[in-house]
């Protein structure tokens, strides 16, 4: 009995493949819509709890819609620009920056293929800060509310990655390993290589040609579960009991950074970048040392440090505020 799962043949990046006009509708785009809609509903729930009211000003649905819309615009810009600057190694976008937001490639509609979570995080953060400054609202209080809503919406984003057959994990002998679509996506290996044949024998896979596609960790689903659903549950349980404004923002940043750091050990780095630090020269499709560090892990480490900085800073400011209020 094979100890792996074949990627469902009915799943394509397009929801209605080979259908005129409707063929442009992609799962990834739909998941983005679901993600933002979910974030809106959670934020609306937080608003009804009174967590966004301040100085006699009551938050409204129009406020949260405007807040999210501003964040989305900045998020998309940040995610796309960061992706082209950090993950693109061709230099094409530096030579032709207008291609950054051009949704066609070689005459085919591709959408904005290539979005960076960390870039979206930075962009979305700047968007929220800008909105709060413009509307004179307590910045950290609104960021806390948004960080309560983000994880559940994020879940749909990673499901979208799964539907695209992208951002898959490293090869694995685990029975839930999935054989993702082949070239130009998952790398194939020659069945004549000794380690490949031994790997295939272990999982009960038979070669149907010279090149085989080995099962991989469904790291997109790991992220959807742990960075999305689990992190949302943790934050939702404590969001009403936060000790000071900025606590949820710091908690989310640390939580996401920590969980994503460890999941990166199961996720395959971009082939043209590989490891940023490697102690044994291992291939990117295998995990042989915890000291082999990817770009994502470096960025997650910075997130953790930033989250700790936010908690310390907000705690100090809250302590000073309480002290000043007590002296009046």
Q: Where are the domains of the chain?
A: 5-327
Average pLDDT, the chain: 87
Q: How far is 108 from 187, CA to CA, in rounded Å? A: 23
Cis peptide before 17 (omega within 30 of 0): no
Return the closest-CA partner of residue 114 out of 124, 105, 127.
105
Q: How far is 100 from 219, CA to CA, in rounded Å? A: 27
Pairing of β 211-212 and β 189-190: antiparallel
Pair 6, 17: CB distance under 8 Å:
no
Residue 49 confidence (pLDDT) above 60: yes
Q: How far is 199 from 210, CA to CA, in rounded Å? A: 15
Residue 184 confidence (pLDDT) above 60: no
Mean pLDDT for the stretch of residues 91-111: 66
Residue 183 confidence (pLDDT) above 60: no
267-306 pLDDT tens trace = 988 777 888 888 887 888 888 889 999 999 999 999 999 9
Out of 92-106, 114-128, 258-272, least confident range: 92-106
Other C-beta atoms lying within 10 Å of the C-beta of residue 17:
12
Other C-beta atoms lying within 10 Å of the C-beta of residue 85:
13
Question: What pTM value is reported for the model?
Answer: 0.88
Which pLDDT band holds residue 103 (cuts at 50, 70, 90)? low
Provide the pLDDT for residue 238: 95
Provide the pLDDT for residue 15: 77
Which pLDDT band holds residue 120 (cuts at 50, 70, 90)? very high
Out of 46-50, 98-102, 167-171, 215-219, least confident range: 98-102
Residue 94 confidence (pLDDT) above 80: no
């Amino acid at each position: 009995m094979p100890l792996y799962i074949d990627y469902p043949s009915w799943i394509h990046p397009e929801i209605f493949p080979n259908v005129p006009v409707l063929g442009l509708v992609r799962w990834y785009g739909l998941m983005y819509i679901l993600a933002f809609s979910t974030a809106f509903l959670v934020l609306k729930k937080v608003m009804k709890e009174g967590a966004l009211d301040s100085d006699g000003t009551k938050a409204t649905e129009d406020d949260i819609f405007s807040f999210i819309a501003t964040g989305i615009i900045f998020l998309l810009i940040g995610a796309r620009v960061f992706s082209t600057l950090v993950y693109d190694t061709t230099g094409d976008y530096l030579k032709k920056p207008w291609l950054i937001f051009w949704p066609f490639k070689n005459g085919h509609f591709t959408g904005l293929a290539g979005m960076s979570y960390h870039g979206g995080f930075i962009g979305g953060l700047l968007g929220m800060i800008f909105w709060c400054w413009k509307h004179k609202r307590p910045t950290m209080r609104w960021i806390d509310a948004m960080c309560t809503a983000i994880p559940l919406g994020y879940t749909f984003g990673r499901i979208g990655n799964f539907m695209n057959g992208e951002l898959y994990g490293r090869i694995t002998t685990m029975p839930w390993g999935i054989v993702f679509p082949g070239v130009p996506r998952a790398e194939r290996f020659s069945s004549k290589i000794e380690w490949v044949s031994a790997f295939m024998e272990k999982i009960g896979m038979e070669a149907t040609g010279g090149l085989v596609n080995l099962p991989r960790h469904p790291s997109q689903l790991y992220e959807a579960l742990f960075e999305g659903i689990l992190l949302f549950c943790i934050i939702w349980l404590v969001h009403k009991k936060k000790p000071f404004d900025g606590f949820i923002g710091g908690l989310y940043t640390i939580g996401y950074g920590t969980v994503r750091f460890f999941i990166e050990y199961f996720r395959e780095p971009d082939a043209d970048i590989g490891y940023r630090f490697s102690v044994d020269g291992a291939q990117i499709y295998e995990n042989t040392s915890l000291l082999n560090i990817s770009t994502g892990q470096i960025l997650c480490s910075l997130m953790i440090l930033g989250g700790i900085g936010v908690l310390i800073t907000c705690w100090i400011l809250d302590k000073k505020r309480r002290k000043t209020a007590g002296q009046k």
